[in-house]
A = this chain, B = another copy of it.
Amino acid sequence: MSNDKISDKRHLRSVATRQKLLEAAKEVFLEEGFQKATISQMIKKANIGYGTAYVHFEGKEDLLCVLMENVMAQFYEIAEISFFPKSKDEAEQIINKQTYSFLKMAEAERNMMQIFEQAIGVSSVISDKWKAIREKFIQRISMDIAYSQQNGLARATLNDEIVARGWFFTNEMYLWEIVRNEHHHSVEEIATTITSLYATGLYL
């Protein structure tokens, strides 16, 4: 009766095993990568019964979704950065900051982002999660471009959505390069270079 569920011993045990499994899953994912990782490995490492895993999660994908929740939330935060520039230079400055934050996520969360990238190629559930993030960014960027065009800062002849998608694509692909540690330049240099190219191309 008191505290509803908190003091329910069964519920407490349930939460604990769920947590054990999540931690084991993270370890296995990081050791094996998404594809080679198996539920069986995670179950062994978590010291629970085989069937128990399926009580708490639907499978590998579901497990990873939960493990990536906080990272995905951070992306949504970055997408929300406000954008009301009064000049071309201010616009470039804001964009540069956003791009930098975006790419820095790749470094900060590299390990799990590597798993995430592998999973995107395999699991439609995970892929959809990332697509939602992508569309969120593109929608925001489109609005930013439209705002700049209405204020006479940006070339109005260009279709905002096409530009927004193209711009995000550059950012996204660099993100994955950095995640894979395959980038040959500093994140700062990449951010400033692509931002400069973009701002010069779009703004007047």
Within 8 Å of chain B (Cβ to Cβ): is A94? no
* Cross-chain contact of A185 among B162, B169, B193 (Cβ < 8 A): B162
Interface pair A193/B122, CB less than 8 Å apart: no
Interface pair B173/A169, CB less than 8 Å apart: yes
Residues in B neighbouring A202, C-beta threshold 8 A: 197, 200-201
Question: What is the copy number of this chain in the assembly?
Answer: 2
In whole angstroms, how far apart are the Cα atoms of A198 and B158 in the complex? 12
Within 8 Å of chain B (Cβ to Cβ): is A161? yes
Within 8 Å of chain B (Cβ to Cβ): is A170? yes
Q: How large is the interface on A (under 10, 10 to 19, 20 to 34, 35 or more residues)?
A: 20 to 34
Within 8 Å of chain B (Cβ to Cβ): is A49? no
In whole angstroms, how far apart are the Cα atoms of A166 and B184 in the complex? 13
Interface pair A161/B174, CB less than 8 Å apart: no
Once A173-B173, A198-B201, A201-B198 are accepted as A-B contacts, the answer to whether A193 and B121 lie under 8 Å apart by CB is: no
In whole angstroms, how far apart are the Cα atoms of A200 and B154 in the complex? 12
Within 8 Å of chain B (Cβ to Cβ): is A172? yes
In whole angstroms, how far apart are the Cα atoms of A157 and B166 in the complex? 22
Taken residue by residue from 160 to 204, chain A's Cβ proximity to chain B (1 for < 8 Å, 0 otherwise) reads as: 011101110110111001000000110001100110111111100
Within 8 Å of chain B (Cβ to Cβ): is A14? no
Interface pair B185/A174, CB less than 8 Å apart: no
Residues in B neighbouring A177, C-beta threshold 8 A: 165
Within 8 Å of chain B (Cβ to Cβ): is A120? yes
In whole angstroms, how far apart are the Cα atoms of A146 and B200 in the complex? 19
Interface pair A201/B197, CB less than 8 Å apart: yes
Interface pair B173/A161, CB less than 8 Å apart: no
14 CB contacts below 8 A, A to B, read A35-B122, A122-B122, A158-B193, A158-B197, A161-B185, A162-B190, A165-B173, A166-B173, A166-B197, A169-B170, A172-B173, A173-B173, A197-B198, A197-B201
